[in-house]
Structure 1
Amino acid sequence: MKFEPPLVPATLIRRYKRFLFDAELQTGEVITGFCPNTGSMRGLTAPGSLCYLTEHSGGTRKYRYALELVEADDTLVGINTARPNRLVEEAIDEGLIGSLTGYAERKAEQKYGINSRIDILMRDPAKGLAYVEVKNVHFRRNGRLAEFPDSVTTRGAKHLEELGDMVEAGHRAIMVYLIQRDDVDSLSLCRDLDPAYSSAFDRAMKRGVEACAIRCKITSELIHADTMVPVEEQGLNSVS
């Protein structure tokens, strides 16, 4: 996925109120923009960090700029939570997740469970239904290990329970972790930051939910779902 229009480099001043950030453009102008990530963004909000912004000209948007990439630990990290679904769809089209190729139909944001929407629903007369839930990952604190989540996510635990329900109803259910940084070789759960999510993950695996992780290649010009990396959890039903 190429960034169009080209991203605008800037220096991060602060991120605040979940949806807002201040940054200084190379011209010296200080702007306030929209942050398309409601999570903690742990480790990605240091003042003075190089960042890249999407610029929206015209239209009715309140903020002209949106935060897209932040440099942390000498690596560009994608923070836009609107990207992962599209990137996983591209990965499926390119055959990166082999077992999800060959489905006759694919739809996004379909209702299921209890007041939930599945990110991607695959349907095929021979293969049946496959429910694909996508989670954005950008947290790293030890070596080349990505971790999820970086804060408590009650909603994420709920999704795992509902994926388990789909398996018990006779369908496939797949949890895909899309890692928006390329300085990691595997993914693990943050069991210390959110024990409840980890417990929900363990239950989901026992019920037959599958899981996989995809690492992205990121530059200031493009972001691309590049390669599968292992999920380091016991009892994992891995996807290939």
Structure 2
Amino acid sequence: MTRRSQFQTRTEVLNIHTDTEGTFIERPNRFLAIVEIDNNGTKTQEKVHVHDPGRLLDILYPGNRVLLRKASNPNRKTGWDMIAGISGDNWILINSAFHRQISEWVLENGIIEELSDNDSILPEQKYGDSRLDYLLLKDGQSTWIEVKGCTLAEGSVASFPDAPTTRGKRHLEELIKARSEGHDAAAIILVLRPEAECFTANGIIDPAFARTFEEALKAGVKVFPLQFSFEDGNIRYLSQLPLCDKVLY
């Protein structure tokens, strides 16, 4: 059972160790990047695993700075993991492997009042044709939760997705179905852009997802955009953002 806690902004959530900084060269496919690393004056180009299916075009472009961590398995084909990339003055977490730990922290600490004081928090539960991130049980009521990470921002507007996502659309459809069957449903958006002031769906990149996002809001699916920064190796919770006035089309 969780008890709701009051957290000040800039609360440390998770420490993520990095080993070196490099210069992004290219991304041959969505899981692989080539990064130049300066090792005591000797520059080498290394294969780096990208654990984020998004395009990340405003972060992963030639010449941009990135943070890497050495792979724990020395026999792996990619010797490094991509952790973050610079955007303006901010390091942006671009490794979705950490989304589970961040969202667990959110739920276990009652950061969202409407999703706090649960009797049970069950991860990775099957609903319909999907496996959703969490099922919350409280006083006999079920709440189905899906978590998405947002790494795209233009000016003060953060948006998702940054690449077409049939999977993301299907997850929203399952949340809509849950509402129609008498359950509560919510999407937690981990907004990883500290400069953003609001969040919305990106219909320019994926109009089908954006339309489903609007349908979900009408159906009573709640959306909670939570803003985080990545500073000095730490993920920090900043605040809950409002939804923007309209979806991007």
TM-score (norm 1): 0.90
Query: CA-to-partner distance for each residue in 1:95-144, whole Å, 9 max, x for gaps?
Result: 22111111111121111111x111111123x1511111011101112x21
Q: CA deviation at 1:26?
A: 2.6
- Aligned counterpart for 2:119 among listed residues 98, 104, 110: 104
Say which SS state the counterpart of residue 83 (structure 1) adopts.
Answer: helix
Cα gap change, 1:106/1:204 in structure 2, threshold over 3 Å: closer, same or farther?
same
Q: CA deviation at 1:60?
A: 4.7
Say which SS state the counterpart of residue 40 (structure 1) adopts.
Answer: coil
How many residue pairs are counted as aligned between the two chains?
Answer: 231
**Which residue number in structure 2 is paired with residue 224 of structure 1?**
236
Identity of aligned residues (%): 27
Distance 1:128 1:59 in 2: 46
Once the two structures are overlaid, the 10-residue window that deviates more, 15-24 or 59-68, is: 59-68
Tell me if the contact between 2:85 and 2:93 (Cα under 8 Å) persists in the aligned partners: yes
Tell me if the contact between 2:200 and 2:246 (Cα under 8 Å) persists in the aligned partners: no
**Which residue number in structure 1 is paired with residue 131 of structure 2?**
117
Match status 1:37 vs 2:52: yes
- Aligned counterpart for 1:23 among listed residues 30, 35, 46: 35
Tell me if the contact between 2:34 and 2:47 (Cα under 8 Å) persists in the aligned partners: yes
Tell me if the contact between 1:77 and 1:180 (Cα under 8 Å) persists in the aligned partners: yes
Say which SS state the counterpart of residue 82 (structure 1) adopts.
Answer: helix
Tell me if the contact between 1:12 and 1:51 (Cα under 8 Å) persists in the aligned partners: yes
Say which SS state the counterpart of residue 227 (structure 1) adopts.
Answer: strand
Distance 2:124 2:237 in 1: 20
Q: Which has the higher contact order (CA 8 A, sep 6+)?
A: 2
Q: CA deviation at 1:220?
A: 4.1
How well do the aligned residues superpose, as a CA RMSD in angstroms?
Answer: 1.8
Distance 1:7 1:108 in 2: 30
Match status 1:89 vs 2:104: yes
Structure 1, unpaired ranges of 5+: 236-240
Amino acid at match of 1:3: I
Structure 2, unpaired ranges of 5+: 1-13
**Which residue number in structure 1 is paired with residue 83 of structure 2?**
68
